[in-house]
Amino acid sequence: MTSRTIPMASTVVDSILFRDAFGTAKMRALFSDYALVQRYIDVEVALAKAEAQVGVIPAQAAEVIARESTIDRIDFDHMREETDIVGYPILPLVHQLVHMCGDAGHYVHWGATTQDIMDTAVSLQVRDALDVIDGDIRELRAILVDLAKKHRDTPMAGRTHLQQALPVTFGYKVAIWLAMFDRHQQRLAELRPRVAVVEFAGAAGTLASLGDKGFEVQKAMADELKLGVPATTWHVARDGFAEAVNLLALVTGSLGKIALDIMIMASTEFAEVYEPFVKGRGASSTMPQKRNPISSELMLAAAKAVRQHAGLMVDAMIQDFERATGPWHAEWIAIPESFILSAGALHQAKFALGGLIVDTERMKHNLGITKGLIVAEAVMMGMAPFTGRQQAHDIVYDACRTVNEKGGTLAEALAALPEVTTHFDRSAIDRMTDPANYLGLAPQMVDRAVELSSDI
């Protein structure tokens, strides 16, 4: 094996082993070094075109810059070496672009500062990455709609504090998941115009080097790149990027909630749902019977990592004066990794939920393991009009204690109490203690969630 073929990546987002577990090829491509440098070049070319358009630099110079500034001519090794010395990649890039463009190279990077180019390039990356996330969420919502409708009336135990509480339906649980991602889709649409904006302001953000042409160049440059124009310079106002990564934290947080539900419901004792079967997936090296919920585990891990990056982005908002002394650099870590991890988690969610195996019989079985106690509230409310609420509570409480101490079912315990049989015959008692008859508005809530989702 030669040194060329030895895997050298050291993080999961680029690892030959883990990169497709924690990310997607599409998102990695958007944030690759190659794509980033191409975006730097796109911004430099757009700047030259904008300045030529408003008469700041000669039109012919802009034409040469646009034609000659190509990424295939970049010496990446030299750029890396110079970046290590300078601390930023733009001056090393400009050196190479100037060389490529001959006399026109005098006008490369005219009136700009390093952060202008880097921030605008990242705005372009984030804009395109949000499009990918938007599409993934739409696909996931469609999966959740189908799953919610299919299991609208599938009864199962609702649980609070990890204890059986009241009956719900599996469709109701999925509708709650769906509504979260409906809101994320709306948040993303609202966020986009605050983030997809150009940054071109010069050394201290005042556009002083362009005289009275600054705003015109800024607008023309934004139009060339199909970005918005900000109200003010945002060199040290980082709320837009922080908001974007915090949105990803919300998205992956919701995925983490779904993952936790699936993992617990897939446990041997619950056995209510399973991730799609793929031979060998989730296998143990020592226990042949194992079928671990791999996609859910990856979703949960991504949620934890993105949450940390969200905090880092908020911390990086605290910047000094008109140009920061370091917090900006933290974004270089947080933004690419957050988008790659989020795309990976959404990919895992689409796989897991798109082929989720739902054991309705096991849900029905689990709903009956309390022998009717799960609908004690239903019985109490059914008796209250005849006995008063407090007396009904006491009667049902005593019946529940009988079941817990002596066995049998709640229906049997109630049928042995004259205070109950005075008002209800055995068939009425059986109806009251059937969990499927105490679903509240769970099915109707599914209908409402699906209908509202169709409008987004």
**Residue 99 · residue 85 · CB < 8 Å:** no
Determine the Cα–Cα distance for residues 416 and 403; give it in Å rounded to an integer. 12
Show Cβ contacts of residue 136 under 8 Å, excluding neighbours closer than 6 positions.
Answer: 343, 346, 347, 350
Q: Which two tokens stand for residue 96?
A: 């190479």
**Residue 372 · residue 403 · CB < 8 Å:** yes
Give CA 188 to chain center in angstroms. 10
**Residue 395 · residue 383 · CB < 8 Å:** yes
Q: Which of 78, 99, 106, 284 is catalytic?
A: 284
353, 394, 148: which is closest to 255 by C-alpha? 353
Q: Which of 3, 10, 161, 285 is catalytic?
A: 161
Determine the Cα–Cα distance for residues 56 and 110; give it in Å rounded to an integer. 9
Q: Which two tokens stand for residue 242?
A: 């922080």
Show Cβ contacts of residue 294 under 8 Å, excluding neighbours closer than 6 positions.
Answer: 275, 281, 282
Show Cβ contacts of residue 209 under 8 Å, excluding neighbours closer than 6 positions.
Answer: 111, 202, 203
CA distances, 396 to each of 371, 402, 421, 432 (Å): 14, 10, 13, 12
CA distances, 172 to each of 156, 157, 256 (Å): 10, 11, 18
Place of tokens 């054991």: 359
Determine the Cα–Cα distance for residues 224 and 45; give it in Å rounded to an integer. 9
Q: Which two tokens stand for residue 265?
A: 């419901």
Determine the Cα–Cα distance for residues 10 and 158; give it in Å rounded to an integer. 43
**Known catalytic residue at 284:** yes
**Known catalytic residue at 95:** no
212, 220, 215, 207: which is closest to 50 by C-alpha? 220
CA distances, 362 to each of 160, 189, 270, 427, 435 (Å): 19, 40, 8, 25, 14
Q: CA 10, 16, 22, 25 torsion: positive or negative?
A: positive
Show Cβ contacts of residue 249 under 8 Å, excluding neighbours closer than 6 positions.
Answer: 303, 306, 307, 309, 310, 338
Active site amino acids:
161, 284
